[in-house]
Amino acid sequence: MCYKTNDLSCEMFKNCPSNYARMRLAIEKKISSKNSSQSFKDDGKSNNFRNCGNKKFSRKQFEDAILDYNMAIRYAKTKEVLSMALANRSACLFHMQLHESCLRDIDMALVEGYPKELAFKLLQRACKCCKALGHKDAYFQAYFNKFKDHLKYIKDGEKVLGNLEKELKEVTLSKNSIDEGFFSDIPSLNNNRNAKFPSLSKSVKVCYTEEYGRYIAAATDLECGELIVVEKPYAKTLLTDCTSSHCDYCLQQSFNLIPCKDCPDVLFCSLECQTNAQTYHKYLCTYLEYLRNAGVDRAGLLAAYLVSRKPLTYFINFKVEYDDKKYNFLPTFSNDSDIDYVYEWNSYQNIFSLKTNEENRSEQDLLDRIKNALIITDVFEKSGYFESQLNNENKSWIGGIILTHLQNFPCNAHSIHEEILTPGSSAISTELAEIGCGIYATLRFLGLYYKQLPLSDNHSLLELLNDLLPI
């Protein structure tokens, strides 16, 4: 749906008591001018990206070529076109001496139906990878036997076999271990957790004053490098620039990204992540490009990802509690010993109650966020999120939740970075590259400098804080 500016004036919403009421009014006043667009697979686009990758490959720009091949993989509609992109990516990985990743791409290309008359090239590459990795004879022999079986599809098969046998004698063991894993082990607070704020250590406490609001302070003397918080994000999303290099589900970088089966918008690092993502991605599938083109920013996409990860019934039940209790989470307290409950990272109440700074926003700012909330809500309607419970009441409530997060995420969400470590460099000389954004319940209390390092544990992302400036 599109919304005309003169149909949604600032004056309409000035006296609305809540974001739910604003969205109820907006939905009643909306007019439809055209349907939202969807993005679908396209073999033509896939081949164009693959050709671009081939040009970069010929110039030995292997990392840049991989990004083009990833785009080709995203857009590939048919199995053969997908297999060609996977095969070309495997060639880049081979030249980068990332032999394990190369073998994974070769296996996927063959499964997807890589042309039989060309498959001998992939199997040649696989045999060389096995030798470089020092794999046992049985593992190598499996590829070598397949290679010989496929020689019947080409001319001069005996000559090709002889050339491979010579080349294999020249292969040396690989010293490159980059593709063994991007991420290190996750540190843990273990028995040093704060009893009321388990994402924090006992070394810090949460305080409140009228002058500074709510903040974290040292409870004891802190050692340099002491770990004081480990927290998972309640919701997270990739930056658009990282959608061709990182997994949409776990945000890990991967050399073997695989596509969504239905849309060209996302990639996943494994079948496990691809499967897990379907719980939310099915409501955004084919619409992510439209949302970005419609002006929905990273806060809006983060709000869409958050809502899509919970069923409608969850938010309907939350509305009952909200109406009954008029939630005021984390009331004023002097320190964390005054509260009578545990403040968990995965409690939606703690995310919903983040400060929106609505009173400091201009009327035009509020109107722009209402329009984006309408756009996102319409996508949920079209993608079947509401199922049999589609009505203005439920649409207004979901729209109100999205509008709330469009206001409180810009003030409270955190950028997610990955550490860039090049061969031969030290941890001191590394750089941080922004890859996404996430919303964290406890990190809202940090009004000071912190470091962000995305690490992997069962495909979950954590926020790590290693040191504090003086408080």
Q: What is the CATH number of domain 43-176?
A: 1.25.40.10
**Token pair of 208, please?**
């409140």
Instruction: Give CA–CA dist 106/104, Å, rounded.
Output: 5
Instruction: Give CA–CA dist 243/238, Å, rounded.
Output: 7
Express each pLDDT in 139-195 by its tens digit.
899 999 999 999 999 988 899 999 999 999 888 877 654 444 555 567 888 888 998
- Name the DSSP letter for residue 222: P
DSSP 121-161: HHHHHHHHHHHHHT--HHHHHHHHHHHHHHGGGSSSHHHHH
Give residue 339's pLDDT.
74
Element (H, E) at 463: strand 463-465
Give residue 391's pLDDT.
94
Give residue 231's pLDDT.
92
Give residue 198's pLDDT.
92
- Taking the model in full, what pTM does it have? 0.88
Q: Where are the domains of the chain?
A: 43-176, 181-471
Residue 59: which residues within 8 A CB-CB, separation 6 or more? Answer: none
Give residue 136's pLDDT.
74
Start-to-end CA span in the chain (Å)? 49
- Name the DSSP letter for residue 423: T
Q: In the chain, which residues have pLDDT < 70?
A: 1-9, 30-35, 175-185, 323-338, 421-429, 447-471
> Are 97 and 176 in contact, with CB atoms under 8 Å apart?
yes
Give residue 7's pLDDT.
56
* Rounded-to-10 torsion of CA 8, 14, 15, 20: 60
> Are 267 and 89 in contact, with CB atoms under 8 Å apart?
no
Give residue 357's pLDDT.
87
